[in-house]
Structures are given as C-alpha cells and as structure tokens.
Structure 1
C-alpha cells in the first residue's frame, strides 16, 4: 500500500506541475497538441492512509517454538543428506548457518546476499566475541531511488550463540568450499588460524578430511526462556555431533 501511494503522489505532483499556470505549460500544450493537461488523481480515485498498519492480517512474526522448529528442520536436513550418502550436506550446513545468522542479526534477504567475510566487525566493549562483535551491512534497503543504506548491527547478548555458529563457518565450512581466487578472499585474506582451501587441509593432515560436523543444536538464549522444560531436555540430547556408525564386529 505504501509503495502504491508513493507512486500516486509522484504522478499527482507531476500533474500539478504541468497544470500550473505559472509555468505556462497548459498554453504550450494547447498550441502544439490542441489539448491541455489535467489532474487525473483525486481523493475519490486514490489510496488514502486510513490505518497505521497496512500489512496483511495473515502476516505475523514466528513464535519462539516455531523458530526452534525451523532451526531443527534445517539441521535435520543435514543428517538426512549424510545418511543417504548424497552430495549437498556441506551446502545444507551452510544454509542452516545462514538461516541462524539472519535471525540473530535481523537481516533482509538482499542484505544477507551482500554479506562478506570482510563485513565482520569487532566490538571493543565485548572482546569475548572476537571478530564477530558485529556485522556491517553494506546493502541495506534504499529509499526513493537512493544508494543502499549502510548500518552496523552489533551482536547482542541474547544472540551470542551465533558467535559459535559464525566461528565454525569461518574455521571449517568456508575453507571446505575452496573459494580460491574469489574477490572476498583477496580483500579479507585467509584467517590466520585456518587453512585457505580444502586441498591445503588435506595436505596438512596427510589425507582427505570428512565434512565439518553439524553445529550443536542448542536452543538460543532468547528461545530457551519460552521453551518448556521437556523441550529443553530434548534439545540437550540433540547437542551431540553426528558420529559415523561403527562397523559390526567380525564373526569368528
């Protein structure tokens, strides 16, 4: 509604300009085209601002339980792909981490697509967060045709569980994708305490390495306050990392 109203206001202002006698446009149009411009937008055929909230009544934010279910579904997808022996478990792990980052920092879709490792910021007030004290958003929502807005979103204590998620992505997941000569790697440089590519990981360890383990399924602090006790016990049992199945003992 607000977008349509802005378009109508732009057209109304243009019509006010071309129909204003002070600019002599009505006479020029009559001499050249035989017709004069008129105002086409009035109160009876335009959208009026009648209520403070103009969104759909069916739209609502997710509850804490629904957010937890969304996180669990993203983590379960990693386990299902690995059990089937198919490709894509690493990409599914990356998707789960991106989903949790979007929730922790309140990012839009375009803002998330424009994130880079160079956008991680330290917070001098909270040195325990390390390099993940905040996220610098460079592709924020623009207004009235202007450039993208920029802002710094700090890591809040209620969402400090996302620091472990980003740290695992930095140390394990991103090197496994082998970014190579990607511009992001050229600007930010590789982390000092992590290999730069999957090939270097194999060379340093003497052989191919398995995919990174799934992150612990701990319930975020902001969610844990609203989750019942039995659900918290279930979440704690799910904090174990995925272990490969042991081969059965050989029959003598």
Structure 2
C-alpha cells in the first residue's frame, strides 16, 4: 500500500537535516473537520490507518514541497515568474542563508510507481536537495534575463506590514516563520537509497518558468504579492527614516 503523505506530519520543523525517525504530530481525532491548521495531524492519522491496514507492507511517501510544470499552488513558480514579469525592483525577504527544498512532481510520480514495483516500504522523506534561498533567487533572476534588482526587507518589517508567509495571496512564497529552519532542509538519504532519483533543481526551475510563461506572467496567483501590493510595500520600505 502506498500513501502519499507529507513532511507536515513532523512535530518539529526547527532542526535541519532531520530524518524519518523524528517525532510526528498526534493523529487527528475521527470526525474532526479538516483545516490547514490541522493538515499535519490529518496526515498522521492517514499514516496510522495505512499501517493498521497493511502493517509493514505500507509505503508512507512523505513528500516535501512539490513543484514543476503545472503547479497550481503558484509557490515555487512565483519567483522566476516575478523576475520575468518586468524589470521593476523585486521585494524579497532578507533570508539569503535560509534553505529551500523542492521535489519535481515528475520525479515524485516516477518514484512512487518504481517504489511500488520494487516493494519499497516504510516511511520515507520524498524531498529534493536543500538549496540556499540566495542561490535559488539568483538562478530565478538569471533565467529571467538578469535585469531586475532586488530589495531585501527584514522579516519583522514584512510581517508587520501584512505580508504573509509561504503560500497564500499577498505572500512571499518559500519564506517561513521563525523556528522553521528544518522545514525545507530534511534528509532524503533514505529515499535516495530506496531508489529516488532527482533531476537538477535548475532544470525544474527552468521548466517551471517555461510553464509560467505559457500560463501568463500577469495572471492572478494563489501565492505571491500582487503587483500593486508590491509597489505599495516598496514605497513604504523606501520611505523609512534613515
């Protein structure tokens, strides 16, 4: 039995490099309505049910952030699309040393099938390699033509001006609250040992930008800053006393 679970099952996201033996959240109680706030607990409950049904024959595929062409969440693609949209200054969170971590949906799908065919079992983190936010951002800028400059604002300032974390409207995708140093830096060693194959993250990024161009760089997005919101925030940031 294969269950596509999530690294959101883990109780602690503060430590980079943690593996599958990290503590998970308690399962969501039966009958509880599902919300984004209890998503991790819901995934823990699903994992428990899978183990109860299939015992040691279950493969709990704990996916991380999934991206690539066709990504409807608009998260990973926000930054390359933003640099490609125009050459105006780009507001970014001042987190150059923070980690990003993506798994290409094509690699994830291929591994789920291959793992089932080869009887892979157990809980395994299906995540990509950690990439520093600064390196990811520069790759986005270069792919888009390398003309737009960035304006880096501290997290406290962004949060105080209503910018959301991670993946909702008027957010800065991949930016996380304090205490999430390990959220995008989990170990994938066990999964790679079980056959997970990952294409270079730069290839995923390039294909993502091509897909963003096809879908429209000025379309309304589920994640990221709207152009008017970004311009207002940039003006406010520049107007601060020296």
Per residue, is there more helix in 1 or in 2? Answer: 1
Q: Report the TM-score when normalising by structure 2.
A: 0.21
Q: Report the TM-score when normalising by structure 1.
A: 0.20
State which structure, 1 or 2, has the greater radius of gyration over its C-alpha atoms.
1
